[in-house]
Homo-oligomer: A and B are copies of this chain.
Amino acid sequence: MSKETKIPQATTKRLPLYYRFLQNFANEGKQRVSSQELSEAMKIDSATIRRDFSYFGALGKKGYGYDVQHLLQFFRETLDQDEATNVALIGVGNLGNAFLKYNFQKNHNTRIVVAFDSKAPLEGTEISDIPVFHPDRLEEMYEKYNAELAILTVSARSAQAMADRLAQMNAKGILNFTPIRLNIPETMKLMNIDLSVELQALIYLIRN
């Protein structure tokens, strides 16, 4: 992929989905797939799929569709599925707890390896087999466990302070579940998921 091409965030968010559905097609023994078939399986319109794929160069042939193994290999490399990612979870409240228990079981290469919570003792404890430390040891343990990015599930009032510490440590990214719009350096990547906002947006769609 050309370094010049700016991939829209909406496209970025669909890449893991494409990968998952191509895996399904491959498991079913399919050798090629049309954008129409992908569209029906994924509930994404086929024009969107073709536009998304076009950002990565012409991957399909007209009248033939896409070669499943070729596409799968392409997305595996693009998504670095062969490389493990260690994740730190910051804030073990209700949502954080759900993450620890779930721990992305289906993503074999992505794991929460360490967690932090202000109620945890300095020497650490374990929840669902994952070590949980007091945030006073964030810098030390984030490095020790080779975490690359953090899931932020702390309270709104701690969110920016935690983001500042992560930025100081050159953490690469934050998956932010707090309602705070974080100030972070441009070198850090950020994804915001605000569950209240998603719910309100759905209500808006229903009413309008």
Contacts and interface: CB of A to CB of B under 8 A. Distances in A.
Interface residues of A, number: 61
Given A16-B196, A94-B101, A181-B42, A189 B173 contact: no
Contacts of A98: 93-95, 97-98
A204 B80 contact: yes
Nearest to A202: B191
Instruction: State how many copies of this chain the complex holds.
Output: 2
- Residue from A1, A7, A79, A201 whose CB has the most chain B CB atoms within 10 Å: A201
Interface in A1-41: 1, 7, 9-10, 12-13, 15-17, 19-20, 41
Contact of A193 (B93, B193, B203, B204): B193
A62 interface: no
B17 A87 contact: no
A207 B80 contact: yes
A206 to B, nearest CB: 5
29 contacts: A1-B208, A10-B10, A12-B201, A13-B201, A16-B194, A16-B197, A16-B201, A17-B194, A17-B197, A41-B181, A79-B200, A79-B203, A94-B97, A94-B102, A95-B102, A102-B195, A104-B195, A104-B196, A110-B203, A148-B203, A149-B202, A151-B199, A173-B203, A173-B206, A175-B202, A189-B202, A189-B206, A191-B201, A191-B202
